[in-house]
Amino acid sequence: MRILLVGAGGVGEAIAKIAARRSFFELIVITDFDIARAESAVGWIARKHGHEVSSRFVADFIDASDAASVEEVARRHGATHVMNAVEPKFVPSIFAGARAAGANYLDMAMSLSEPHPTAPHTLTGVKLGHGQFEEADEWRAAGLLAVVGIGVEPGLSDVFARYASDHLFSEIDELGVRDGANLVVTDATGHEIFAPSFSIWTTIEECLNPPVIYERGRGWFTTEPFSEPEIFDFPEGIGPVECVNVEHEEVLLMPRWIDARRVTFKYGLGDEFIGILKTLHQLGLDSTTPLKVRSANGPVEVAPRDIVAAGLPDPATIGPRMTGKTCAGVWVTGLGKDGAPREVYLYHVSDNEWTMAEYESQCVVWQTALNPVIALELLASGAWTGTGVLGPEAFDAKVYLDLMATSEALGGYGQPWGLEER
């Protein structure tokens, strides 16, 4: 397996760091528009693991916005798999470039949605991943596989849902993805600051778009952003967190392969975060449409959302100033295999103190990065196979969770997952 890793930001770098401990691949080409970031990731691996390991990594330049650039870099390095680790606005170009190069493809966030033009808080418009699923026949005809949404959410949560369907439930009432944390970021003086732990560009897209809900018999529909607040009690000391509806890929993925009466995604954002997002929207600072701005060198065009992202700390750099844990999982209700009512929460917790000590990566990006590496290893071994455009639910969940939980000494990833009866 020869992997072209597109993006050397927080998640991309963490993917490389996690993969450095594994032996299933021949080569990983770490690429970025800023080649210095890719070179830095290779340098970290060399310092941590030595030349024998780092020799399986090389750095290169790529323009993720240009399908031709993706194709050229993939062909030049003989890539068998293209791993997309950049913002979802680049999905169409990377997706096209991978197929043109005859390479398989993985991403952690699908092609972007477009709200319904007249009823955005009732009806869906262009759904997340629609552009990718429309090309499923072409990928299948080419004998290629695109695994979409294989981060943590979407990704691990979808694997949990498939596991629950196959092994825990005879009938599912609701698949409710619930994400919460008790993370705190401080400045140099120790005061808590606003510093999102993931790309603010992606966070704005998710949180301000109309959330999608799925119900059997009704299909997909939308609601108001931040609707249906509920208090969800997260495990391992995180505790109760208010969660609200947010647009997310799981709701678009799970019903394609799993029979459930209802599918939802709720995110623990907090009042401050929600207030900031609403203010950005009111001021038009969430827009991706470039505006003409005066500068010392004359007028330039820049998207307001890119200005917001540039003004906030890089999520890849805040790990040393972050404390706490983040939890991703799926709450499942319905009838167990014995026909009796059952309610469980399947989850994985990532502790920032541990991820920083082991990988020098903050816990949110590390937890996201873990899952595509596991998926790539399963593809390399043949435990996961397929063609076309498939979500994580289309594959065997048990083999994934077993590899994830098995200790590193025994060939796994040493990341146990939890199952709480509720």
Residues in the chain, how many? 422
* Least-confidence region, from 122-131, 136-145, 194-203: 194-203
Residue 199 pLDDT exceeds 80:
no
Task: Report how far residue 5's alpha carbon sits from residue 106's, in angstroms, rounded to the nearest whole number.
Answer: 10
CATH number of the 2-151+366-415 domain: 3.40.50.720
Specify whether the backbone of 66 is left (phi greater than 0), alpha (psi in -120 to 50) or beta.
Answer: beta
What pLDDT is attached to residue 326? 96
Three-state SS for 175? strand
Query: Backbone phi, then psi, for 38, in 5-degree steps?
Result: -65, -45
Among residues of the chain, what percentage have pLDDT more than 70? 100
What pLDDT is attached to residue 124? 96
| Span 156-364 CATH architecture | 2-Layer Sandwich (3.30)
Average pLDDT of the chain is 94
Residue 62 pLDDT exceeds 90:
yes
Task: Report how far residue 266's alpha carbon sits from residue 252's, in angstroms, rounded to the nearest whole number.
Answer: 14
What pLDDT is attached to residue 189? 85
Residue 31 pLDDT exceeds 80:
yes
Find the mean pLDDT for residues 394-408: 98
pLDDT confidence tier of residue 126, bands split at 50, 70 and 90:
very high
CA–CA–CA angle 32, 149, 37 (5° rounding):
15
What pLDDT is attached to residue 144? 98
Q: How far is CA 210 from CA 122, 152, 207, in A?
A: 9, 21, 8
What pLDDT is attached to residue 136? 98
Task: Report how far residue 195's alpha carbon sits from residue 237's, in angstroms, rounded to the nearest whole number.
Answer: 22
Select the more confidently predicted residue: 273 or 257.
257
Residue 287 pLDDT exceeds 90:
no
What pLDDT is attached to residue 297? 79
* Least-confidence region, from 8-12, 149-153, 159-163, 317-321: 317-321
DSSP annotation of 360:
S
What are 359's two structure tokens? 């990988």
pTM (2 d.p.): 0.93
Domain boundaries, the chain: 2-151+366-415, 156-364
Beta strands in 236-373 (DSSP E): 239-245, 260-267, 291-293, 300-302, 322-323, 325-336, 341-351
What pLDDT is attached to residue 258? 98
Pair 147, 139: CB distance under 8 Å: no
Q: Do domains 2-151+366-415 and 156-364 have the same CATH topology?
A: no
Fill in the amino acid letter for 165: S
Find the mean pLDDT for residues 147-153: 97
pLDDT in tens, 332-348: 999 999 999 999 999 99
What residues does 389 pair with on adjacent strands?
Answer: 146
Find the mean pLDDT for residues 149-156: 96
Beta strand 145-147 with 388-390 is parallel
